Structure 1
Amino acid sequence: MLNPPSEPLVLQGLWEAVQAGQREVLLSPYLPASYAFLTHVLLCTPFLALDALGSVCQRVRSWRVSAGSGPPPSLRRWGECFLRVLSRYLSSVLPATALLHALCSPAVFPLLAPSCWELCVEVFACLLVFDTLFFICHVVMHRVPWLYRRIHRHHHRHHLPFALAAQDSSSLELLSLLLLALSSSWLVGCHPLSEAVFHLLNSWLAVEDHCGYDLPWALHRLLPCLGGAPCHQAHHALHNVNYAPYFTHWDLLFGTYCAPERYLRKER
């Protein structure tokens, strides 16, 4: 929906600057995969610092979801995980998304930026759609043994996940996650600026879900509708609960929700 001409467009200057200086980048067939990989790695860096501090600081270790589960992942484990994710992006995700981009019609960018309200509504709608699509696909991958073995089992090698492991998955799963995110923004029909913010927030939520820390300032503490790292760590440990990536309503509705406190009691 276009903004009324009288409405001050707070984001208009940003949108014009992006189009003027980065139009070739925005039209690049390599943008979706590159953006997904680079934002994921950059958003993981604060948790790399926390894991490094956790090896020497008891206070940081006390923030871990399972505080008695041992030391945080080592730098070597981070490096091995980074190389696995990078190799899958270069060998599979990047070529596949570039081919898909070439087969689709060229993007047409609107002249006007969205209002701040429209951006927030569109981003939230994208998150809800992605959460729903992911929940359905996730349940299917767990309930169909062939799909679990061929696609999803690699991700569950992390009994206690860490931030970078959010994308330590098989090539097919990585590609499907990116396609689900792109499909969510397409179904909502959001502005390209809203889409970029959605992908950024989507990456952050995935990283925070896998970080292994129940931080006092984490989003799930500020927004009770989010499950956060404690809920997702329960999924990695128990496998048959907490299928939704971010929100808790689908798991509550279908009886697959497991409160983090219950999981931690089992761990003890």
Structure 2
Amino acid sequence: MANMTSVSGLPPLPTYELRPMPDLLPSFISDFWLSIIAPHIAYWAVSMFFHFIDIFDLFPQYRLHTPDEIAQRNLVSRWHCFRDVILEQIIQIGTSCVLNLTESQQMIGREDYDVAVWATRIRLAQRALPAILGALGLNAASISKNMAASHPLLAGALAGGHYPFLTIQLDGVSGGQVPAFAMWELMVAKAIYWVVIPAFQVWVALAFMDTWQYFWHRAMHVNKWMYTHWHARHHRLYVPYAYGALYNHPVEGFILDTLGAALAYKASFMTPRMGMYYFVFSMMKTVDDHCGYALPWDPLQHITSNNAAYHDIHHQSWGIKTNFSQPFFTIWDRWLNTRWEGDAKLKYERTRATAAAKKVSAAINGKANGTPNGKANGTPNGKANGTPTGKAKLRQSSSRQSSRTQR
């Protein structure tokens, strides 16, 4: 591409040539498909990590709930939870394919040009310094002249971005000299281009996602129809575990998670490569928020105060009308006074004690009836009256619990 020549004493901008960005794993998979499956690989990798900890009870001191609570309080089996998560991930994969088709191929090659553009803006901004200093009663020209020998770069900035001693040779044939950028201008420009702008894009995506999820999530608790038909399914997990993070009604999952993440990505104007990292991070954070552990060495639980312990309160019957914020910050709960402020520790102790007492009672009753593990009347696993594995009873209990927690 043609170069912009020096205008009004400004350094010229470099030439550039665009080329497609190489795939992250060119020998294995294209970025198109990697960006689609990577979030789900992350989902199951983190989920299986916590599942391994859970089944082998490796860190019982950091559990939010005991195994007895998981067995007694949840109103959905692990198999049905797994099945619904797979369904939602299929929907997400389809949506990701459509989203990727709307993106043009990411190109590289103009990074130095863009940095130079920012350096030019910094140079132009310096032209306002003499006027600003003059408004404060300072003579910028005099100060610059006095500092020229000892601090030439500072003197040049105070003079309005005038650096006559900074030049480069335009080409080896003509030998012409053109203005050049100061080192500090290029360093600041690189920081803006490589750090500030990407950080701002990430912040926009996180803020958008949090706002989207907070108000939709809260609406699904306020509106009885949406709660009963959609959101109540997620609250069958009174004791969340990692791979149950995406256990939702398909409509809720699409609106709250899939569509919310896609719109956040678009609103932030991320590149496709940045978007892939963002989706992977979001998925890992969502799983971690449902892991059921307060691990002191888990970095995802210390980025913000919105972590597994915070979100777990929302899954309890006594905290279901609070802690709507997810998955990153708690600012909307704080601003709108929906943050849990009670003594959660005492309530957790009561639920643990209740679960333990029920287990002891069930064991005593089973022994008294000569039916180990609660099996009675030749009906293993609680099968009775034509209701295998107690499914009819489970559905009835789930309906009553959903209605009660909504009230």
Same fold per TM (> 0.5)? yes
Q: Is the 8 A contact 2:64 2:292 kept in 1?
A: yes
Q: Is the 8 A contact 2:205 2:265 kept in 1?
A: yes
Q: Which moved more, 1:17-26 or 1:157-166?
A: 17-26
1:230 Cα deviation (Å)? 0.8
Report the secondary structure of 1:115's partner residue: helix
Residue identity matched to 1:175:
F
Confirm whether residue 42 of structure 1 aligns to residue 17 of structure 2.
Answer: no
Q: Which moved more, 1:186-195 or 1:114-123?
A: 114-123
1:51 Cα deviation (Å)? 0.6
Report the secondary structure of 1:169's partner residue: coil
Report the secondary structure of 1:18's partner residue: coil
Residue 87 of structure 2 is matched in structure 1 by 87
Bigger helix fraction: 1
1:183-240 C-alpha deviation (Å, 9 max, x unpaired): 00111111222211111111111111100100012346534x4221111000011210
The alignment covers a number of residue pairs equal to: 242
Distance 1:36 1:179 in 2: 15
Q: Is the 8 A contact 1:227 1:248 kept in 2?
A: yes
Confirm whether residue 157 of structure 1 aligns to residue 160 of structure 2.
Answer: no
Q: Is the 8 A contact 2:23 2:30 kept in 1?
A: no
Distance 1:192 1:116 in 2: 17
Alignment partner of 1:173 out of 237, 249, 252 = 252
CA pair 220-252 structure 1, distance change in 2 beyond 3 A: farther
Q: Percent identity?
A: 19
Distance 2:28 2:55 in 1: 39
Confirm whether residue 250 of structure 1 aligns to residue 332 of structure 2.
Answer: yes
Residue identity matched to 2:320:
H
Residue identity matched to 2:43:
H
Q: Is the 8 A contact 1:244 1:250 kept in 2?
A: yes
Report the secondary structure of 2:68's partner residue: coil
Report the secondary structure of 1:21's partner residue: coil
Distance 1:85 1:233 in 2: 19
Confirm whether residue 217 of structure 1 aligns to residue 297 of structure 2.
Answer: yes
TM-score by length of 2: 0.52
Q: Which has the larger radius of gyration?
A: 2
Residue 12 of structure 1 is matched in structure 2 by none
Any gaps of 5 or more consecutive residues in structure 1? Answer: 7-14
Distance 1:82 1:111 in 2: 40
Alignment of 1:162-241 (within 5 A): 162-176=241-255, 177-219=257-299, 222-223=302-303, 225-237=304-316, 238-241=319-322
Confirm whether residue 110 of structure 1 aligns to residue 107 of structure 2.
Answer: yes
1:253 Cα deviation (Å)? 0.9
1:64 Cα deviation (Å)? 0.8
Distance 1:240 1:110 in 2: 47
Q: Is the 8 A contact 1:166 1:206 kept in 2?
A: yes
1:20 Cα deviation (Å)? 8.4
Distance 1:17 1:72 in 2: 46
TM-score by length of 1: 0.77
Distance 1:213 1:105 in 2: 39
Distance 1:252 1:69 in 2: 32
Distance 2:24 2:93 in 1: 23
1:82-109 C-alpha deviation (Å, 9 max, x unpaired): 233113433x4444554x449x644242
CA pair 19-48 structure 1, distance change in 2 beyond 3 A: closer
1:153 Cα deviation (Å)? 1.1
Q: Is the 8 A contact 1:241 1:256 kept in 2?
A: yes
Report the secondary structure of 2:261's partner residue: helix
Q: Is the 8 A contact 1:220 1:227 kept in 2?
A: no
